[in-house]
Amino acid sequence: MMDLLLLGLAGLMQDQGPTITTLDPPMGPTIGENRTMSQWHPGSDNRMFPDVAVKDLRIDGDTLYVHGSTGARSLRAAAGGESVCVNVTLLDGVVYGRSVFHNSVNYRSAVIHGQATSVTEPEAKLRGLRVLTEHLAPGSWDYARPPTDKEMAKTAVLALDLGEAAVKIRTGPPVDDDEDVATDAVWAGVLPLRAVWGDPQPCPLLAGRHAVPPHLLGRTGPV
């Protein structure tokens, strides 16, 4: 499993080798499934094809939580027992080789396969949503209004065990042919890519003089 080609992730290394510990930062992970043509176009045949959607997710212990609308077909299918695949990708830089053949990217990546279970018990569901919220927007759970019963009813929370997970990482300079290195004809190396937090932008509908909360001001520098 460790040789699967994946693209992105962070917080990976432990003494026994690459493992998944956290999925940071909160950047557009995708969840994939198989569906039939007839699910998109009624009256079509039942040939299967892959489909992916962007979802917020968070790992807590040995469980990955995913949430979304109860009307989302991808979550309804996953809750119904269909196998899913979750991928997270972080691009760390572009690798410039001495030949175009050896151009590449540095990345950290995770892929998780399995069957998700629907979290329906109220306290467990609320805990899952808190885990997701505090991952995406730390400090918000105790600062903003909590979800109402109506909002909870509209929200699906799924749990996916990390039993089938794989990671892969590429770091470092280009791996060029010995002849090109010896010729030393062009520059070669890495152009790093870094995401950073910007300045908070207040909602134009704010009526009061609300100061930016401390838990938001603390998110500065690299993501």
Return the CATH number at 156: 2.30.110.10
Q: According to the model, what pLDDT value does residue 8 have?
A: 27
Looking at the 3D structure of the chain, how many domains does it have?
A: 1
Q: Check: CB of residue 34 under 8 Å from CB of residue 48.
A: yes
Asked if the structure places residue 2 within a domain, the reply is no
- Residues with Cβ within 8 Å of 157's Cβ and at least 6 positions away in sequence, in order, are 65, 66, 67, 118, 119, 125, 128, 129, 132
Count Cβ atoms below 10 Å from residue 31 Cβ, excluding itself: 25
CA atoms in the 13 A half-sphere facing the CB of 35: 20
Asked if the structure places residue 5 within a domain, the reply is no
Asked if the structure places residue 66 within a domain, the reply is yes
Asked if the structure places residue 8 within a domain, the reply is no
Asked if the structure places residue 7 within a domain, the reply is no
Asked if the structure places residue 109 within a domain, the reply is yes
Asked if the structure places residue 6 within a domain, the reply is no
Sort strands 117-118 and 155-161 into parallel, antiparallel or unpaired: antiparallel
Note down the domain range covering 121: 13-217
Asked if the structure places residue 212 within a domain, the reply is yes
Q: Check: CB of residue 105 under 8 Å from CB of residue 91.
A: yes
Q: According to the model, what pLDDT value does residue 89 have?
A: 79
59-118: per-residue pLDDT in tens? Answer: 777 788 888 888 877 777 777 777 888 877 788 999 999 999 999 999 988 888 888 889
Upstream peptide bond of 25 is cis (omega within 30 degrees of 0): yes
Query: From CA 65, how far away is CA 113, in angstroms rounded?
Result: 13
Q: Taking the model in full, what pTM does it have?
A: 0.72
- Residues with Cβ within 8 Å of 66's Cβ and at least 6 positions away in sequence, in order, are 31, 55, 56, 57, 75, 78, 86, 116, 157, 158, 160
145-195: per-residue pLDDT in tens? Answer: 999 999 999 999 988 887 777 888 899 999 999 999 999 999 999 999 988
